[in-house]
Each structure stands twice: as structure tokens, then as C-alpha cells.
Amino acid sequence: GAVVSQHPSRVICKSGTSVKIECRSLDFQATTMFWYRQFPKQSLMLMATSNEGSKATYEQGVEKDKFLINHASLTLSTLTVTSAHPEDSSFYICSAGRDRRNQPQHFGDGTRLSIL
């Protein structure tokens, strides 16, 4: 199956730090990448959708100035959590997809973010 690489897998940092997470589609060109947040024992909550070369579309309630998304190429999207605070601690997962009917999204292995 398709491979999506997410890095880093785990981050522990102090409150106020900005953290960048990378998501790479390794074997196909992803027209769209998605960023999700997952709380313990809960399902995935979509945060934003990013298309290569255009601004990301954020879901309701997600602060775009807090969660900066850049999709510079068809194989790379980044999520930057700016001035992170303990309440931003979570499991962040990216996925990559092609805009074709029935094409599945393929997910990275997630980033566990812990803000002290």
C-alpha cells in the first residue's frame, strides 16, 4: 500500500515552544493532505485540509493562527503548532489522498505531542 511518512513520532517540549510536524507522501503525488487530532480512546477529528499550493481549509473551531499548515509540494505538508500549551498535547496524524472517487486516504503513524 501507499506509504506516508510522518516525523517526528514524538515530541516533548516546554510550554510556549513552536513545534513543526512533517508529513511526506513517499510513493505517490498527493493532491490533498489532511491533518487530524486524536484524543485517547476517541476517533480522529479533522483539523484541516490542505491542497498543494493553496491555503489550507480549517474545520470549525480550529484556530488557523495556532495551527499553521503549509503544503509546498505534492509530497510534503507541514503542521506547525505555534506557542504550544499543555492543552495542545495530543496525537496528531496526517493523511494523504488523491482527488479520485473511492481512493482511500493513507495515514502517517502520527506524532505524539506532549507540552510540559
Partner 1 sequence: EDQVTQSPEALRLQEGESSSLNCSYTVSGLRGLFWYRQDPGKGPEFLFTLYSAGEEKEKERLKATLTKKESFLHITAPKPEDSATYLCAVQAPAGNKLTFGGGTRVLVKP
Instruction: Tell me how far apart the alpha carbons of residues 71 and 74 are, in angstroms, rounded to a whole number.
Output: 7
Q: How far apart are the first and last CA of the chain?
A: 36
User: 5 or 82, CB closer to partner 1?
Assistant: 5
Of 10, 12, 115, 5, give the one whose Cα is nearest residue 66. Answer: 115
Residues lying near partner 1 in the complex (CB under 8 A): 1, 4, 6, 32, 34, 41-44, 46, 49, 91, 93, 95, 97, 99, 101-110, 112
User: 42 or 54, CB closer to partner 1?
Assistant: 42
CB of 87 to partner 1, least distance (A): 21
CB of 31 to partner 1, least distance (A): 9
Of 29, 43, 19, give the one whose Cα is nearest residue 100. Answer: 29
User: 82 or 105, CB closer to partner 1?
Assistant: 105
How many residues in the chain? 116
User: 55 or 83, CB closer to partner 1?
Assistant: 55
